[in-house]
Amino acid sequence: MIFLIPLAIWLGTAVCFLAFYNGNPQAFRRSLLTAAIGIFFFIATSTELLSPANLVNTIAIKAAWTILNIALMLLFRLLSKREDVSMVHILKAWRSSGKAFFRETGGLTNAVMLSILGLTCIVAVVATPNNMDSMAYHLSRLGYWIQNENVDHYASHIERSISFSPFSEYVHLHSFLLSGSERAFQLLQWSCLVGILMYISLLVEMLSGSRAAMRMALCFGVTLPIVVLESMTTQNDIVVAFFIVACAFYAFDYVRQTKKLSLILIAAAAALGMMTKGTFAFFVLPFAAYIFFFMIAKPSQWKPLAFLIGGSVIVMLLLNGPFWYRTYQIYESPIGTANKGNKNDISNPANLLSSTAKHVFLHLGFVSPGDRYNRFMASSLERFHQVIGIPLNSPGTGMPFKMNKLNFNEDFAHNFFAMWLIIFSLPILFFIKLSKTARWYTALAFLSFLLFCFFIGYQIYGSRLHISFFLLIAPAIGIVYGSLKVRAVPVILSLLLWFFALPFAVLSTSHPLLSTNWFFEEVFPKINTAFNLNIHVGKGNLNLKQPSILFAEPEKIVWGDYTDQALRMRAYVDSIGAKNIGFNFLESSLDYAYQYVLRAPDRHFEHVLVRNPSRSLENKTFIPDCIIAEHFAGNQISYHGRRYEKKWSTTGTFIYVPVN
């Protein structure tokens, strides 16, 4: 039944085409993006509506999607008769606009986009999800929602799984209940990247109209290493970037055309963005201010402004209110543990300079003979901090700073060439001719990054939090380098970005398309020696050496070097016939990995002996057949008046069974 989702997207796109965009040269892209926001809105609202009645189950979700598709089909028939346009005509119009678009983008850009998107799509579909954050809290929550048939909070040792925004996981929840498989999970981020590239193309057409700018912007956006890696995972940074870029586009689109539909889409995208990740607010705030001041300055816009503000507040509360309320009940705060992140100390202006510099330098590290380049960059950053009068690692400015070299992990990869292109674009901006709208957009994109740095301190995994900025700035980068008189420059830059991005598409340390074992044993040692890189690949970083996901077993993809231990654990749990399993985990535990290997019909999981505020949600009637613990509490423990004895253990994992 998973086909119900693409069917709804197709019908929704056709409906939006007939209702809003017929005759527009950008009709297909605009229709598809509008339909996508509508489908996302449906997922969020239907989940929250079904949850109170404990109807988050396969039957109810299939029924909801069936009703949606029937409604869209009826609406399409009504509109097609009114407009006297058949589906065949629509498909021909889409094909024609697609051909025109790909003629504009050109052979090189098409090759860059299709190769990167094609490779990452293969990995996204074939590989079993195994991102560390996903196994800890993104995906782990799905198992409890499904067995409880609602999205209420539950007792959990991993507080992020009940306090971090849930929208991406709502999408995964629907796809799992429709298909019974994780196969579509990683397509969410990949699809959002495709949507962002569409928005980038629309923004360039709005801001410049230059063919060279379009090509450069798309190549810049699709080749960002952290974006390439994340597009194959079940994280949510590209998803939230989709809503951020959507809000930016519709804000400028409304200023240009003052169409009410843009305001509706802003309200919906803003509510969904907040439902995805808290960083949404920092990046979208400058664009919200832009449209606010445009509308407040014109009396004719006061009524639409009231509609935008009122509508946004209502939709925001309707979508996010239930989750915020559930979180408030546990933590006495609607954002739960999200406020425990790396907040920046804004009391000292120097801290703001420090934070911004470290966020920028996060992307500027690279490999070099003897690591001389990184040492030079690190000393430059130290000297900058001496000038502003605070230590490099001043309290309140985030984690201790560390220069990157080259990383193929979706949590730590950085955008070396992209950041240098951004830095070099700054002086060029003062010498090229930009439209007023393009200057405003560029300034707001930079301001969004500064605002993020203002509130959020440096983090070693901050690169993925910067995804929204890099994708927001892509149209400006395209315009800057596409405007240079030397036409070969954007072509050369696009090729360099492409060649640098390809290894990230096929050599991810989490799920490589090509064997990284082969790369690090056969290829890398020669490069390491020839360039005196002094990079040691040994027992301390065996995770760099992984088989291709095309030939690896799913359990191996999820558990890596601990697969044998996980399979032995499953064999023991099966041998004692355990149906009700209690988890006594660390906060950093890979909950989903345990669920994945232990899943079986009629098997039920609950967190027990919880040591955080969510312990109030523990099921007092739950009697585990065994307790799987990452906390060693001696040879015996007691739970709900029953004694359990340690009967099995391996590195870091202990199984307790009831004492008869």
Per-residue pLDDT reduced to its tens digit, 115-150: 999 999 999 999 999 999 999 999 999 999 999 999
pLDDT digits (tens, 9 = 90+) for 237-296: 999 999 999 999 999 999 999 999 999 999 999 999 999 999 999 999 999 999 999 999
Strands 642-650 and 653-658: antiparallel
Instruction: Give me the phi and psi of 16, to 5 degrees please.
Output: -65, -35
Lowest mean pLDDT among 327-336, 500-509, 532-541: 532-541
Residues in the chain: 660
The region of weakest confidence among 110-119, 402-411, 497-506, 534-543 is 534-543
Strand ranges in 422-467 using DSSP code E only, listed in sequence order:
none
Is residue 341 predicted with pLDDT exceeding 70?
no
pLDDT at 105 over 70: yes
Around 133, how many Cα atoms within 13 Å sit in the side-chain half-sphere? 15
Cα distance between residue 128 and residue 511, in whole Å? 8
Helix (H/G/I), strand (E/B), else coil: 130? coil
Q: Is the pLDDT of residue 535 over 80?
A: no
CB atoms inside a 10 Å sphere around CB 191 = 20
Tokens 């830059």 belong to: 493
pLDDT for res 386: 95
pLDDT for 351 equals 87
Number of H helices and E strands in the chain, helices first, is 26, 6
Report how far residue 282's alpha carbon sits from residue 227's, in angstroms, rounded to the nearest whole number: 19
Residue 605 corresponds to which tokens in the numbers above?
Answer: 């999981």
Instruction: Tell me the Cα Rg of the chain.
Output: 26
> Per-residue pLDDT for 540 more than 60?
no
DSSP character for 507?
-
- What is the mean pLDDT of the segment spanning 360-368? 93
Separation of alpha carbons 13 and 8, rounded Å: 8
> What rounded mean pLDDT belongs to the chain?
93
Residue with tokens 């032995």: 568
> Is the pLDDT assigned to residue 161 strictly greater than 60?
yes
Residue 443: burial class (beta carbons within 10 Å; 0-12, 13-18, 19+)? middle
Q: Is the CA virtual torsion 275, 281, 283, 289 positive or negative?
A: positive
Q: How many CB atoms lie within 10 A of CB 447?
A: 17
Query: What token pair was written down for 89?
Result: 């005509």
Mean pLDDT of the region 399-418 = 92
- Judging by DSSP bridges, how do beta strands 626-629 and 653-658 pair with one another? antiparallel
**What count of Cα atoms within 13 Å lies in the side-chain half-sphere of residue 507?**
19
- Please state the φ and ψ torsions of residue 433, each to the nearest 5 degrees: -90, 115
* Distance, CA of 414 to CA of 425 (rounded, Å): 19
Tokens of 15: 């409906």
Query: From CA 54, how far away is CA 56, in angstroms rounded?
Result: 6
pLDDT at 610 over 90: yes
Structure tokens at 170: 């709502």
Q: Using 50, 70 and 90 to split pLDDT, how confident is the model at 227?
A: very high
Distance CA 219, CA 237 (A): 19
SS (H, E, C) 524-551: HHHHHHHCCCCCCCCHHHHHHCCCCCCC
User: Between the CA atoms of 591, 593, 599 and 605, what dihedral angle is there, to the nearest 10 degrees?
Assistant: -10
63-70 CB contacts, 8 Å cutoff, 24+ apart: 65/1, 65/4, 65/5, 65/8, 65/174, 65/178, 66/4, 68/4, 68/8, 68/42, 69/4, 69/7, 69/8, 69/11
Please give the span between the terminal C-alpha atoms of the chain, in angstroms, as a whole number.
45
How far apart, in whole angstroms, are the C-alpha atoms of residue 157 and residue 609?
9
Token pair, residue 584, equals 């006594």
Q: How confident is the model at residue 544, as a pLDDT?
A: 67
Q: Which pLDDT belongs to residue 40?
A: 98
Which residue from 225, 198, 226 is spatially nearest to 499, judged by alpha carbons? 225
> How many whole angstroms separate alpha carbon 263 and alpha carbon 87?
28
pLDDT at res. 577: 95
Q: How confident is the model at residue 517 (pLDDT cuts 50, 70, 90)?
A: confident
Provide DSSP, 170-226: HHHHHHHHHHSSSTTTTHHHHHHHHHHHHHHHHHHHHHT--HHHHHHHHHHHHT-HH
pLDDT reading at 411 higher than 70: yes
d(CA 344, CA 348): 10
Kindly report, residue by residue over 442-457, the tens digit of the pLDDT. Answer: 999 999 999 999 989 8
CB–CB of 97/27 below 8 Å?
yes
pLDDT recorded at residue 607:
97
Q: The whole model's pTM is what?
A: 0.96
Q: What is the secondary structure of 339-388 as a DSSP string?
A: GGS-B--TTSHHHHHHHHHHHHHTTT----GGGHHHHHHHHHHHHHHHHH
Contacts with 638 (C-beta within 8 Å, 6 or more apart), sequence order: 644
Residue 549 has pLDDT above 80, yes or no: yes
- Dump pLDDT digits (tens) for 71-93: 999 999 999 999 889 899 999 99
| Closest among 631, 620, 623 to 604, alpha carbons compared | 623
Given pLDDT bands bounded at 50, 70 and 90, which one contains residue 541?
low
Look at residue 531 in the predicted model and tell me its pLDDT: 65
Q: What is the pLDDT of residue 79?
A: 96
Do 644 and 636 touch, CB atoms closer than 8 A? yes
Res 20 pLDDT > 60? yes
Mean pLDDT of 536-559: 77
What string of DSSP letters covers 601-646?
TT-EEEE-S--SGGGGG--TT---SEEEESS---SEEEETTEEEEE
CA 55, CA 64: separation in Å to the nearest integer? 11
